[in-house]
Amino acid sequence: MPQTVKGVVAREKGAPVELVDIVVPDPGPGEAVVTVEACGVCHTDLHYREGGISDDFPFLLGHEAAGTVEAVGEGVTEVAPGDFVILNWRAVCGQCRACAKGKPWYCFDTHNADQKMTLTDGTELSPALGIGAFAEKTLVAAGQCTKVDPDAEAAAVGLLGCGVMAGFGAAVNTGQVDRGDSVAVIGCGGVGDAAIAGARIAGATTIIAVDVDDRKLEKARELGATHTVNSAQDDAVEKIRELTGGFGADVVIDAVGRPETYEQAFFARDLAGTVVLVGVPTPEMKVPELPLIEVFGRGGALKSSWYGDCLPSRDFPMLVDLYRQGRFDLDAFVTERIGLGDVEAAFEKMHGGDVLRSVVMIEGEQ
Ligand SMILES: NC(=O)c1ccc[n+]([C@@H]2O[C@H](COP(=O)([O-])OP(=O)(O)OC[C@H]3O[C@@H](n4cnc5c(N)ncnc54)[C@H](O)[C@@H]3O)[C@@H](O)[C@H]2O)c1
Ligand SMILES: [Zn+2]
Ligand SMILES: [Zn+2]
């Protein structure tokens, strides 16, 4: 029987989100219905509501979530009812050119649930990033669920489903930060701070946090930054060079995604160093005019990182273990716990830089 539950919907571009009744179908073949326990509020949800990602309104928002599998459809082997899971953006196919090359995070044939969740009048909903978890229950492809330790705190580990994984993976998977490396991270929001934590866990000894907001720099220290630079006051490139013996950092991560931060990252890296772009630029932004001789002369690598080059089945349980062992302070990312009715207020706080993450705790009649 399809179930009617509460969900947070963006009906039209720029309009405040609404908490409404939505209809969640029974899981079909390859699908799972998940009872959501916690879901972080990410910048991308705000992008959706502003029409910056697609025009497929109405959207069911929310995509950094953990919960319990309630029911699975025919042929599902990945998870079973009762499993505690973290949701990821897309199930990979395992067969395409990228999957065959051992890089499934670039899979060409990812999928989400085939059936649609709807409003009570039958209007189909577009779930944010294929998830839609600001809701008491959601329908996903079973391959989007990764089973993890059920004792882990849902509010914290749900964050692994997007921003924290993206930042951690940008440092560890894409940037390949190594023991003794120097690392600079430009932009210390949820993504940048996770990159800082990743760099620390990978053994970097100099970790420079760069931001324009002192509150963010303070928080970055808690997560492992050894030095901070306020780039509204000081020249970030000069400071990073100064702090790395005049050379620049082995790995520089741009977690803002603007031409000026990319340029800083480019010039702040050491010879043979790596630049990782993880902040998402807008379509009209251009690469700054970087002298080609510098690209050649500095060697190294200019990379971008999508979802932290993660493989959820490998990375989510590993990160939950690090969290449970007290080696990765995921709780530090949770600024506040809120209800399903508070998402709009959380967007405002995010905009003002007041929170790292607000996390919606879902209590419904479960
Ligand atoms: N690549 C991916 O897979 C992926 C996944 C999730 C998010 N993202 C992107 O990562 C970026 C960061 O996301 P977030 O959730 O951490 O955002 P956020 O808003 O929480 O943090 C951004 C931080 O950058 C700082 N900042 C802004 N302009 C700056 C500048 N010129 N120089 C230095 N610091 C500056 C802000 O003060 C803030 O602390 C966004 O572009 C987001 O879309 C990418
Ligand atoms: Zn594939
Ligand atoms: Zn996100």
- Model pLDDT for residues 51-86, shown as the tens digit of each residue: 988 899 999 999 999 999 999 999 999 999 999 999
Question: Per-residue pLDDT for 305 more than 60?
Answer: yes
Joined tokens for residue 366: 């479960």
CB 309 within 8 A of CB 107: no
Joined tokens for residue 99: 């999957």
Q: Which ligand is nearest to the CA of 208?
A: 1
Please identify, by atom number, the ligand 1 atom nearest to the C-alpha of residue 163.
6
Centre of ligand 2 to C-alpha 144, Å, is 14
Please identify, by atom number, the ligand 1 atom nearest to the C-alpha of residue 306.
3
Contacts of 193 (CB under 8 A, 6+ apart): 167, 219, 220, 223, 332, 333, 356
Q: Which domains does the chain have, with CATH numbers?
A: 3-147+335-361 (3.90.180.10), 167-305 (3.40.50.720)
pLDDT value of position 366: 42
Centre of ligand 1 to C-alpha 315, Å, is 22
pLDDT value of position 242: 98
User: pLDDT grade, residue 364 (50/70/90)?
Assistant: low
Distance (Å, whole) CA 278 – CA 114:
30
160 lines ligand 1 (CB under 6 A): no
Question: Per-residue pLDDT for 157 more than 50?
Answer: yes
211 lines ligand 1 (CB under 6 A): yes
Question: Per-residue pLDDT for 343 more than 70?
Answer: yes
Q: Which of 77, 81, 82, 80 is nearest to 94 (CA)?
A: 77
Distance (Å, whole) CA 72 – CA 61:
22
Look up the ipTM and state it.
0.98
264 lines ligand 1 (CB under 6 A): no
- CA-based angle 62:65:70, to the nearest 5? 110
146 lines ligand 1 (CB under 6 A): no
Q: Give Cα separations from 283 to 162, 187, 194, 286 (angstroms).
A: 21, 20, 25, 8
Nearest Cα residue to atom 17 of ligand 1: 189
212 lines ligand 1 (CB under 6 A): yes
pLDDT value of position 93: 87
Mean per-residue pLDDT over the chain, rounded: 95
Question: Per-residue pLDDT for 365 more than 50?
Answer: no
Distance (Å, whole) CA 155 – CA 337:
8
